[in-house]
Each structure stands twice: as structure tokens, then as C-alpha cells.
Structure 1
Amino acid sequence: SVDLRECVSVVIALDYATELTQECVQIVYLCMVENGHGLSVTSHPSRVLSRSGGNATLPCTIHRDQSLAPNRKMRIKWTKLTFDLLTEVDVLAAMDYHKRSYGSYHGRVHLCGSSPSDASLVIEDITLDDYGRYKCEVIDGLEDATVVVSLDLEGVVFPYSPRLGRYNFNFQDAERACREQDGVVASPQQLREAWRGGMDWCNAGWLSDGSVQYPITSPREPCGGQNTPAGVRTYGLRNKNMNHYDVFCFTSHYNGHFYFLPHVTKLTYDEAAAACRRDGARMATVGHMYAAWKLSGYDRCDAGWLADGSVRYPVARPRPRCSPTRPAVGFLGFPDKKHKLYGVYCFGPGR
């Protein structure tokens, strides 16, 4: 017989430590449904993909022995698991007609309830912070059963360092910087997916679990050695207050319009900000540019100011004088804001 709660803890720890193989997923599934006490819950699929601003249904199906009498006091509880697995964030609790949602989920979550056995959770108006693993727990008298579902978001990971140069963020600074760029600190899983998509970046950056890593697709001497295999290199968990690195941010779709503002002359930073305001918009962030480039195929060879004072340009179609070998977001650094050398990228209401 299997202690389901102990099994789930092992599974979650394993999934955070490494990516699950198909064989492992099958073992996890068997582990989830096996408790031998007439009550179990399952989730199919165990991973759900959505996007910022969208909706998602996290599946949870109750399997209850038919010989058991109906129990109107059966309790359903959804929580979100933190990366360190030490705490859980309450999302929703329900018993019969009584339901309650918590914190930032209040008013955005409800049970699907398509049948008495359906304990699936519906999340509306998804935010970047909703990404992660959720636990569905069903309590029926003295028995309980649990299953874990992952909510993944379609989006893009991008590296970020400040005007001061590389390795100037402690963890709290890194979180603030990603927020300012309309993103959140990326998770290890999100960085690994970005690496699989071809991301190659030699500077080490913070991730959401407090680790510091960087993705290498083309091994070379300055980035861990030419003879080392490609992969995501890690420094492990670091001191969030004392250690300083860059950061990898994650952003998803946004509600609004990202665009290059045509202008007769080149602009200083202040002139660029004023031009966006006159157009009923604001200066775009780095997150806006990466999302438009990766998720919408935005392509423009013109260098333009962004809100953080950097100058960048998104190239979806490689060509001479832009990005000749591969799609990329070009980066010209943080120029003197008084230079009249660039255009501007704006972000405003949807058109």
C-alpha cells in the first residue's frame, strides 16, 4: 500500500529537481491513484498550457468507491505549491455549496463542477504569477487523496542587466527589475525550455527558486569551457542578499499595442517619452519588445529607446545589417539620454 501524501511529496520534489521522463510520469500517475482506501483523485492532463490574460482549467477528477454513501461534507481544497515546498498558498476551498477563494485568486477562480466527481479548478484572467504547480486535495471523512497539476504559460525568457553593467542585482533587485520590464523572474523549467529553443547566454542570472544559472548551446572557453557539453549551467542556490548576478525574466502575452513610432527626426530619451505620450501611449518596456518579437513575430530593424533607457530592436527575419544569422533582439546598450540618435518604441491601448 502507498501513503499518498508521502508519495506526492516525493513526486513534487523530484519534479522540481529534474524534468520528468515519460516513464517517470507513468510511475507518478500510478502513485497518485493508488491508495487502496476507496478514494482517489487523478488529473489528465497533468500539465496545462495557457497565456497571460487567458483562462485555464486544471483537471481534478474524484474516484470514489460506489459502495460508499454520498457525503455532502466532502471537502475540496486547491493550493499552490511554492518552489521551496515548505509552504502552500491557499487558492480555493469548497464544501457542498460553501466556497471561498483567497488572496490574488479571489474572484478569479471557481470549480468547474460539471459532475459530482469533477473538482477541476478554473482560473480566469491569468497573470504571470499564476505559473506553477497546484495541488488538488479531496477530504472525505477520515480519508483524503491528492494530485498535482502544473500550469505553464506561453511566453518568452529574456536576460536582463541594469545600466550599471553585469552582475549588479541581488535577488530582491532582480525581482524588482523584472517587474519593471513587465515580467517576473523566470523559473528553472522556463529557462530550460528557452535553452531547448536555442537560447545561448554566457552571463549567469537569478532564477525564481534562488538558483543562478545560464544556458549554453555553443560551448566556448569564456562560458564554462569549449570541451564541455551544451546545457544549462548552474551555480546552485546562492545567498539572495549577498550575491549579485544578472537575472532571467519571463513575460507572456499582454493586452495592448506595441509599435515603433515613425518620426521625422531622431530623438533624445525625453523627446521619445513625450512623443509616445502625445500618441496616447507610453514608452515600451523590454518585456513588451521580447513578447512582441517572440510571440507575434514583430520585426523592425530600427533602433529605438525603451522605458529603461536602453536602445534595442527586434528582428524576426534575419537579414544583413540587422541580425544576419538568426532572429534576435538587438541591444545597443544604455546610451547617453541626450543623444539624438534613435527612434522610440511605444506601448498603448490595443488597436
Structure 2
Amino acid sequence: MLLLSLVVILLQLGRGCCGLPFYNGFYYDHVMNDKGNGNGNGEVHFNGVKLVVETPEDAIFTYRGANITLPCHYRYEPKLETPRKIRIKWSKLREDNTKERDVLVAIGPKHRSFGVVFPYQPHHGRYRLNFHEAKKACEDQDSVIASFEQLFKAWEEGLHWCNAGWLLDGTVQYPITLPRDPCGGKRVAPGIRSYGERHKNLHYFDVFCFSSAPKGKVYYLVHPEKLTLEEAKQACQDDGAEIAKVGQLYAAWKFFSLDRCDAGWLADGSIRYPIAFPRPNCGPPEPGVRSFGFPDKGKFGVYCYKLS
């Protein structure tokens, strides 16, 4: 059993867990049928062949947003003459060892990870953060400053943002999926635009933050009337929760398909709402977290965060 990220996350691959099918000494998640054969989709096949999987006995510790190697070795006995496709899936476990959700799925060189990258700028405007302030801004929103690898993966999944932001390595970059003149030019191919390494104290930009699935629940608080920011904070407290942070809202939208066409306060004083299923009168035709910026006045709803 492995511990990984988000303060404490338990991961497992094919070893003692919660009623999953058991075969050849390992547990498999929706892979084997009742005869012990593969499901015919090129994931796992057995015909008198034993699959041996080796993972560490000891827990692996890291911190949220960090890169980590999850050692996993497998082999067939007897050795196969023709390679077969194999699908490896790491799943998060709750503290009671019940499965919660997948965190990494890999088929050969292709893989899908379960983190979200989002651009962030503070209430006082665009390009106001040096590197150290950018790092703290992400931490204040229940996230960490993103690495280039995390931004690149987010770009592959469709992230498009025309404002440059700090990354963990001290470079300033931004992802473009639809080239246009204000974003490096129409004739430049889609990709990650880079300003290179910048001075961490003297240069100011936005920041890209990285968040993984929260341990708690983000929800829109149904309230009889609209609220100021201070009233919104109190309303969440009265409901046994706290006002949600930006990273928590993005994670809830990404991992739990949080969808609400109601603008609400967040802890940083911004007004946002998450749309997992786009529809008329709820912003652009793409899924995303919509933002109304940082209003100086006005009353809105509120998104709260409550630990599970």
C-alpha cells in the first residue's frame, strides 16, 4: 500500500482491497470475468499464463503537487514470445481501505493523470506577482505552483490561456490551443509559449496552480438571500463548513463534475461558478470555471467547503 500526495492519499495496484476480483494472487478492478479470463478489450489476457506484479512493501511519502515515482514491475510466467497490451491503474483509497477514485491510468506510453491546472491572478490585477508571491498565492488557494510537466499535460487536455504565469522552475509560460494575434500570433503553432526564466524578485506575472482532488466536498449553499463576502463566510460557518478556495472549486469541477450556473463568493473575494455541462445562459460553450473577477460591492451566492 502506498501513500501519495494531497496530505495523505492511499494508492494501491492489485493488492488487498475491498471485494475486488482475485486471481493469480492479486486483486483486479473490473478486469477478470468469472472464468478468470480477460475482458477482450486488450487489457489483460490469461491462457495458462501467470502475471506477476511487484510493488514496494513500504509506503511512499510525498507532498501535494510534487513529482513522485511509483515503482511497479510486472512479468509473465512463462515469458511471452509476443508482447501483450497491459493497462495499469492506480486508485486512491480512503483511510478505511475502500476505493474512492482513479488517480493514474496508463496503457503503454499513454497515460491519464488526475490533477487540474488553473491560471490565477490576485484581486489587485494582472501581472502583479513575483515568483515568491505567486507560490504563496497558489498555497492560499489550496494548491501548489504548477510544474512545466503539469502545465504541458493540461495543455494537451485543452487548457488555453493567453496570460503568462510563473511555473515551479522559475520560468514564465502560457498554453495556447487556438493561436491568435494577441497570443503570440496566428502563424505560430499551438503549444506552450515561453518567456524563459525570469528574475524571481523583480519580474511580475500571473501564476499557474496545480490541485488534486480535495478530501472534502464543495457545494453551492442554498440561502434565502444573496450575501456580501463577510456574510458569505459566516453563512458557510453556520452550515458547519468554510468558504471554498479557488483550488477547491476547480478540483470539484474537474473530478466531481460540479456544475452550478450560480455565481458565488470564494475565499479570495472572487466570484466564480463551475460548469461541467455547458448550456445556454451559462457562459461559453466549453466546460470550465467561469469568473466575474473581484467585485468591490454587490451580493451573490457562496460556495462552501466541508470536510467529508
TM-score between the two structures when normalised by the length of structure 1: 0.61
Q: Match of 1:128, SS?
A: coil
Are the aligned partners of 1:171 and 1:210 in contact in 2 as well (CA < 8 Å)?
A: yes
User: The residue matched to 1:214 in structure 2 has which SS?
Assistant: strand
For residues 33-88 of structure 1, give each alpha carbon's deviation from its aligned partner in whole angstroms, at most 9, with x where no partner exists: xxxxxxxxxxxxxxx99663323479xxxxxxxxxxxxxxxxxxxxxxxxxxxxxx
Aligned CA distance change for structure 1 residues 238 and 264 (closer, same or farther; 3 Å): same
Q: 1:281 to 1:118 in 2, by over 3 A?
A: closer
Query: What are the superposed Cα offsets for residues 232-280 of structure 1, whole Å, 9 maximum, x if unpaired?
Result: 1111111111111000000001111110000111111111011001001
**Aligned equivalents of 2:243 and 2:217: distance in 1?**
11
2:129 matched to 1:156? no
- Are positions 1:349 and 2:307 aligned together? yes
In 1, distance between residues paired with 2:159 and 2:60? Answer: 30
Question: Does structure 1 residue 55 correspond to structure 2 residue 10?
Answer: yes
1:55–1:123 Cα contact (<8 Å) kept:
no
Q: Of the candidates 102, 106, 122, which is equivalent to residue 59 of structure 2? A: 122
Query: Using the alignment, how far apart are the partners of 1:239 and 1:129 within structure 2?
Result: 23
Instruction: Report which stretch shifted further, 323-332 or 200-209.
Output: 323-332
Aligned to 2:194: 234
Paired residues of 2:65 and 2:146 also in contact (CA < 8 A) = no
The structure 1 segments of at least 4 consecutive aligned residues displaced by more than 3 Å after TM superposition are 48-51, 117-121, 132-135
1:198 to 145, 158, 179: 158
Distance in structure 2 (CA, Å) of the matches to 1:133 and 1:209: 19
User: Does residue 227 of structure 2 align to residue 267 of structure 1?
Assistant: yes
Contact 2:5–2:65 (Cα < 8 Å) also in 1: no
Work out the CA distance in 2 between the residues paired with 1:181 and 1:290: 10
2:177 and 2:4 map into 1 onto residues whose CA distance is 27
Could you list the per-position Cα deviations for residues 153-187 of structure 1 after superposition, in whole angstroms to 9, with x for gaps in the alignment?
Answer: 62100000011111011000001000000000000
Structure 2 counterpart SS, 1:249: strand
Match of 1:186 among 142, 146, 149: 146
| CA 119–346 in structure 1, closer or farther in 2 if over 3 Å, else same | closer
Aligned to 2:274: 314
Structure with higher Rg: it is 1
How far apart in 1 are the matches of 2:293 and 2:166?
20
Distance 1:55 1:349, change over 3 A: closer
C-alpha distance in 1 between matches for 2:55 and 2:5: 23
Give the aligned residue type for 1:122: A
Q: Report % sequence identity.
A: 52
Against the structure 1 CA distance between its residues 118 and 51, is the aligned structure 2 distance closer, same or farther, given a 3 Å change threshold? closer
Q: Does 1:166 align with 2:102?
A: no
Which secondary structure does the structure 2 equivalent of 1:208 belong to? coil
Query: Within 1, Cα distance between the matches of 2:58 and 2:202?
Result: 39
- Decide which structure has greater helix share: 1
Change in CA separation of 1:196 and 1:289 when aligned onto 2, cut-off 3 Å: same
Q: Deviations over 1:94-149 (max 9, x none)?
A: xxxxxxxxxxxxxxxxxxxxxxx98675225x5314434699xxxxxxxxxxxxxx
- From 339, 342, 346, the equivalent of 2:298 is 339
Give the counterpart letter for 1:335 in structure 2.
Answer: P
Q: Is the alpha carbon distance of 1:317 and 1:49 closer, same or farther for their aligned partners in structure 2, counting shifts above 3 Å?
A: farther
Q: 2:245, 2:266 within 8 Å by CA — same for their partners in 1?
A: yes
TM score, norm. by length of structure 2: 0.69
- Matching residue within 244, 248, 257 for 2:217: 257
* SS of residue paired to 2:252: helix
Structure 2: runs of 5 or more not aligned: 14-53, 72-102, 105-112
Matches within 5 A, 1:77-116: none
- Change in Cα spacing, 1:301 to 1:163, as seen in structure 2 (3 Å) is same
